[in-house]
Structure 1
């Protein structure tokens, strides 16, 4: 019912949005003598603010057709190399000629960046991807909005996520490197352990976890405390809703993206309120830089997707309530997930000193849980002065975190002869 009411509210506001759009045009028209007055600028800013807070934000574009590598432009092409109803594995293929002109080697370590499936689209990692393109052959998991997946496609749960990680690493080929940002930490670590136990030739050469809840019992945050304080039945009763018509996933039970967004924003309600007040003032003052900065952030932040009921609830249960992986109790396909089986996959953990989503200690717990990784194949780093978002994006990520991670990957790039990796051609999961 909540999902249907949300859609009804959006539809009901459409006439007001059209009115706001008309007001914007009226108060910015060069034919309007009042346009450049205090009254005109305030009226325009009011209409612009109303339209922005009631708008439906769709999936953003990557916008990485050209990236700057060592001061030179390098063109990239997005190639879907594997897909299922739930995800597309996108390769950002770099133009060979541009790389040569930039003085970069054409051959580079393959890195699969596993984007979080926790409410936002993979494009939230645009800055992360742009940084890794400098020195790597980059692949990214682009997760699908669950409301767009018809019921006939079946379920997608925590264990399917593990299998998807394995399938995508197999497509990239032997001994690639995997970078898991936030939520994917536990399932990616589980996938690596399963692959190691089976001596899978496609197991990664290294794994990097950024701000991930590997062991959410450590340094608990508000998010962790909520997950532990509320009984499992509360999440099922209050957080799960049915996708309404006319979405392709009509009838599917999901954790709606707008509910997740409200939860995130309520944690920092004053900050978001102040940001929108500043946005209004920038509009009135004609401060283009301030307006652009605000819109760049919120156009991404307010774009959300839905999660399937089974994936969300299992994540709450296994990661935040049972702590199954951290306690050695996770079972996959009838077999225990044994982290001690990981012996030749290098491990890097990155945390933010001020992270209020995954507290310091939760990610680096992976080192203690994987006792058989050699010490010279480990890196534990805590970045001073950054919160959760700063762990994988922003100036300090580019200048202080990324150089450490890329050096770690370079040290652990396997020099042995490997089976050739598949070409970047479209594949579809059976």
Structure 2
């Protein structure tokens, strides 16, 4: 009950701030105050609008917002999102481009389960759609999953990936972004031994902690300092009475958000102050850069307690992937069994979440893979976000990844489309601005 009370207290504080923002906006917007030429009322109204929107976004899953993409025929093609596999803790979705023949490149984007929804990869999806059939792992908010659905830890996550890859077939190219990189590597090795015919053609790992000890960051330092008992006591709570997952132990999204913001507190504070001033001056808009970014950044989801704790204990503290002794459902997974899947790693030189060295460690683990099927790229000046959704991704990394896929998948490549805005403006902030993934 204690965990449920603290969970509901957090939600109550969030709800109260949303209500205060709405009240301030409504009160300060009364026409009668137009007769009083005082800037206080404009600032009050602006503060209310920004506050109401910010706290309201924290409990809403964002929409993908990708409506159309340009086609080779010069026409815009409608895009719909269809669910191919529905499971309690996550679904496999496909971005179906209407009136377009299936593309030779078939890409599964493995989205992070690290506090944000899969829509964090919106701009990544949009950039790939003109050239690929795109599939995404759409993880569900743990607060909405009944306790009767059972547990979900890193072994279950890995088996979900195995099932999704099996469903899509062997002519597949997998791209894992940040947190899922080690588990995607393990899932590929699992298939290599259990069902070699179902392996993907290529595997691209972007900014993931394959070997957290390869290069220290604040994230890895935190993992070393805190004991599992301290972690469980300080961050794990039970879902409150408002949601379907009532009673489920989770690492709450609101608590994760507080951690994210604290990593760049001054930058976020300045961004909100500037936004309030702009609104007061009448210079704000519904879809400006601030709203596009923070509508996504503030939308957080709960993780199951067992997934979060097993990630810290087994990936960061125990180094089970880094030392090639990861066990899934009682079976030892040998990464050396990967012998035919081409593997590429991508790192950002300025990544302060998964620092250079952590991801490229995957190549050394692939002892059964010839050097001709291994590749790596270190992007100069790129932060964590930039290597999968920022300008570094758009300008440099994306073309390299598509070229790697074409070289190793056997698909007949078509001319790669130039990046342009798809379904709205790009949401990417300055490189390295967040630790969201």
State the TM-score, normalized to the length of structure 1: 0.89
**2:331 is the alignment partner of 1:328:** no
Show the counterpart of 2:197: 201
* Of 238, 247, 250, the match for 1:251: 247
**2:166 is the alignment partner of 1:170:** yes
* Of 5, 10, 27, the match for 1:6: 10
CA contact (8 A) 1:325 1:337 kept: no
Moved more, 285-294 or 143-152: 285-294
1:305-334 superposed Cα distances (whole Å, 9 cap, x missing partner): 011111111000111100001112212232
User: What are structure 2's unaligned runs of at least 5 residues?
Assistant: 413-437
Show the counterpart of 1:22: 26
CA distance in 1, matches of 2:36, 2:103: 55
Partner secondary structure for residue 65 of structure 2: coil
CA contact (8 A) 1:279 1:290 kept: no
Show the counterpart of 2:52: 51
The aligned runs of 1:257-296 (5 Å cut-off) are: 257-288=253-284, 292-296=288-292
* Of 67, 76, 79, the match for 1:65: 67
* Structure 2 CA distance for partners of 1:204 and 1:238, relative to 1, 3 Å: same
Partner secondary structure for residue 381 of structure 2: coil
Deviation, structure 1 residue 391: 1.0
CA distance in 1, matches of 2:131, 2:287: 32
Show the counterpart of 2:186: 190
CA distance in 1, matches of 2:70, 2:385: 22
CA distance in 1, matches of 2:315, 2:62: 29
Deviation, structure 1 residue 37: 7.1
Deviation, structure 1 residue 14: 5.5
* Structure 2 CA distance for partners of 1:410 and 1:368, relative to 1, 3 Å: same
CA contact (8 A) 2:102 2:133 kept: no
Moved more, 387-396 or 289-298: 289-298
Deviation, structure 1 residue 165: 0.2
The aligned runs of 1:367-406 (5 Å cut-off) are: 367-406=363-402
Q: How many residues align?
A: 406
1:43-73 superposed Cα distances (whole Å, 9 cap, x missing partner): 3322223323433430000011212457752
1:279-329 superposed Cα distances (whole Å, 9 cap, x missing partner): 122223333469710011001000000111111110001111000011122
CA contact (8 A) 1:175 1:201 kept: no
CA distance in 1, matches of 2:293, 2:254: 17
* Structure 2 CA distance for partners of 1:24 and 1:178, relative to 1, 3 Å: farther
CA contact (8 A) 1:178 1:207 kept: yes
Show the counterpart of 1:425: none
Show the counterpart of 2:176: 180
* Structure 2 CA distance for partners of 1:400 and 1:129, relative to 1, 3 Å: same
User: What are structure 1's unaligned runs of at least 5 residues?
Assistant: 100-104, 417-430
CA contact (8 A) 1:113 1:181 kept: yes
CA distance in 2, matches of 1:34, 1:126: 45
**2:302 is the alignment partner of 1:300:** no
CA distance in 2, matches of 1:275, 1:156: 36
**2:74 is the alignment partner of 1:78:** no
* Structure 2 CA distance for partners of 1:3 and 1:144, relative to 1, 3 Å: same
CA contact (8 A) 1:208 1:348 kept: yes
Show the counterpart of 1:42: 43
RMSD: 2.1
State the TM-score, normalized to the length of structure 2: 0.88
CA contact (8 A) 2:15 2:55 kept: no
CA contact (8 A) 2:105 2:411 kept: no
CA distance in 2, matches of 1:52, 1:216: 36
Show the counterpart of 2:210: 214
Partner secondary structure for residue 411 of structure 1: helix
